[in-house]
């Protein structure tokens, strides 16, 4: 097949719309549903991301994409008991690929609502079962077991979009993009991110544990497919905060840091023990938790709807208690798609437990950034490679 007709483009008024290939056949096949223009943008960017994560770490990988940026990305490491509670998995069996998906979805459950999922490996039953439990638009993978495909086809009243991609597909070396009737051409970003990117450690502390190397690789590969400017916080094989598409570097760092803080706060005992009524859907729980851990909590308590969600009044989580809990945030890794121009980014990152950093370097204030890292005994590597993505 050389083309797939789409319902419309980015917006309903943008017609006609299609994806096509000039030579040969498309490497993608729609097995169910009818993916749209933005769905395919998410699918193709997301699949590149998870494939590179798998190549770099040796683990199955998954990502949750929204509007051509990842809301989360992760590799298939086992979940601990707290993570099972915060991601609502219960005692369901999880394959490594299913664990990767649950962790990717769990990075930012509010932003992942209605996401597009990309999987590095053939989708198995455990991953399909995890997928049907969430609100999602579609999935792309190199294949699906028959049982997994049957499960996914029940989602969204049979309309869930399922795309299969040929893992042997090799794209052209150049990319074309039309803007306002003018064609842009550039070489594909085929940069392979590996341990060599982390060899130039410029701080006094040069001890970079292997698990943190993995986390920094996850951060950098995730940034490679995130709309710039972007910053990514990672812990234990999982992106926990991604700041995408900001014009200012410090705004990226703050946005991603706030998301990382929320990820840590979801592990607070008060949050894990929220007395939700049994019939409260997951998306409502996610949004309620987001409010519960926010600075708006005091106002929310006055909302009569709040009282209808619980079997009893939740315990009060004060601002002081939130600040105290976030002191437990440690050993976090951070990547940036371009250099940090000021040390304020490091100061903000420190508040979210960042210990290890990878960034291109090259600012006229590199000395100030390095000095700020040294003040907190951080480890920072200069990669000498920008990772802008537009």
For residues 218 and 306, which has the higher predicted lDDT (pLDDT)? 218
- The CATH number of 191-265+326-382 is 3.40.140.20
Pick the catalytic residue from 32, 45, 59, 66: 66
Q: Which of 355-367 are b and which e, b meaning 16 or more Cβ less than 10 Å from the residue's Cβ? A: bbbbbbbebeebe
**In angstroms, how far is CA 103 from the centroid of its own chain?**
9
Cβ neighbour number for residue 181 with a 10 Å cutoff: 5
H or E element at residue 28:
strand 28-32
CA 323 from centroid of its chain's CA atoms: 25
What pLDDT, on a 0 to 100 scale, did the predictor assign at position 313?
A: 85
Structure tokens at 269: 């005992």
pLDDT digits (tens, 9 = 90+) for 122-152: 999 999 999 999 999 999 999 999 999 999 9
In this predicted model, which residue has the larger pLDDT, 304 or 225? 225
Asked whether residue 300 carries a pLDDT value surpassing 80, the answer given is no
Contacts within 8 Å (CB) and 24+ apart, 136-144: 136/160, 137/35, 137/39, 137/161, 138/33, 138/35, 138/39, 138/43, 138/162, 138/163, 139/163, 140/28, 140/43, 140/44, 140/46, 140/47, 140/116, 140/164, 140/165, 141/165, 142/166, 142/167, 144/31
Structure token pair of residue 340? 């940090």
Which tokens hold the place of 40? Answer: 């395919």
Q: Does the active-site annotation cover 390?
A: yes
DSSP bridge partners of 14 = none
Catalytic residue, chosen from 129, 229, 236, 345, is 229
Q: What are the boundaries of each domain within the chain?
A: 3-170, 191-265+326-382, 274-314
Tens digit of pLDDT for each residue in 28-82? 999 999 999 999 999 999 999 999 999 999 999 999 999 999 999 999 999 999 9
pLDDT single digits (tens) 239-261: 999 999 999 999 999 999 999 99
Q: Supply the pLDDT for residue 281.
A: 92
> Does the annotation mark 229 as catalytic?
yes
Position 298 scores a pLDDT of: 67
Catalytic residue among 157, 173, 277, 390: 390
Is the confidence at residue 321, as pLDDT, over 70? Answer: yes
**pLDDT, tens digit, for every residue of 200-234?**
999 999 999 999 999 999 999 999 999 999 999 99
Name the packing angle between helices 96-105 and 125-132 (round to 10°): 20
CATH topology of domain 274-314: Helix Hairpins (1.10.287)
Confidence bin at 5 (pLDDT 50/70/90): very high
The two domains 3-170 and 191-265+326-382 share their CATH topology (first three levels equal): yes
Of 321, 213, 209, which Cα lies nearest the Cα of 264? Answer: 321
The architecture in CATH of the region 3-170 reads: 3-Layer(aba) Sandwich (3.40)
Q: Could you give the count of Cα atoms lying within 13 Å of 173 in the half-sphere of its Cβ? A: 0
Per the CB < 8 A criterion, the answer to whether 151 and 136 are in contact is no
């Amino acid at each position: 097949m050389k083309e797939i007709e789409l319902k419309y483009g980015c917006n309903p008024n943008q017609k006609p719309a299609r994806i096509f290939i000039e030579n040969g056949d498309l490497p993608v096949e729609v097995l169910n549903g009818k993916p749209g223009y933005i769905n395919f943008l998410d699918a193709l960017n997301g699949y590149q991301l998870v494939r590179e994560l798998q190549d770099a770490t040796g683990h199955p990988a998954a990502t949750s994409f929204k509007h051509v940026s990842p809301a989360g990305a992760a590799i298939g490491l086992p979940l601990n008991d707290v993570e099972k509670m915060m991601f609502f998995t219960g005692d369901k069996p999880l394959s490594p690929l299913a664990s990767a998906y649950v962790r990717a979805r769990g990075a930012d459950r509010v932003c992942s609502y209605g996401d597009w999922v990309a999987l590095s490996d053939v989708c198995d039953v455990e991953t399909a079962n995890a997928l049907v439990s969430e609100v999602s638009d579609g999935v792309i993978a190199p294949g699906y077991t028959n049982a997994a495909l049957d499960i996914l086809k029940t989602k969204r009243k049979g309309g869930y979009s399922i795309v299969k991609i040929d893992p042997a597909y090799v794209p052209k070396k150049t990319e074309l993009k039309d803007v306002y009737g003018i064609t842009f051409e550039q070489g594909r970003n085929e940069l392979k991110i590996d341990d060599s990117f982390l060899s130039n450690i410029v701080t006094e502390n040069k001890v970079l544990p292997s698990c943190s190397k993995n986390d920094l690789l996850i951060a950098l590969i995730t940034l490679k497919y995130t709309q710039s400017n972007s910053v990514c916080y990672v812990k234990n094989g999982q992106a926990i905060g991604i700041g995408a598409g900001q014009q200012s570097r410090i705004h990226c760092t703050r946005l991603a840091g706030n998301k990382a803080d929320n990820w840590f706060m979801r592990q607070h005992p008060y949050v894990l023990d929220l007395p939700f009524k049994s019939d409260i859907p997951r998306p409502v729980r996610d949004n309620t938790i987001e409010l519960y851990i926010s600075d708006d909590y005091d106002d929310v308590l006055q909302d009569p709807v709040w009282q209808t969600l619980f079997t009893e009044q939740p315990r009060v989580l004060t601002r002081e208690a939130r600040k105290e809990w976030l002191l437990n945030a440690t050993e976090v890794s951070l990547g940036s798609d371009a250099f940090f121009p000021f040390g304020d980014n490091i100061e903000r990152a420190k508040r979210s437990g960042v210990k290890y950093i990878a960034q291109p370097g090259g600012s006229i204030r590199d000395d100030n950034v390095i000095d700020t890292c040294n003040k907190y005994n951080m480890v920072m590597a200069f990669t000498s490679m920008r990772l802008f993505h537009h």
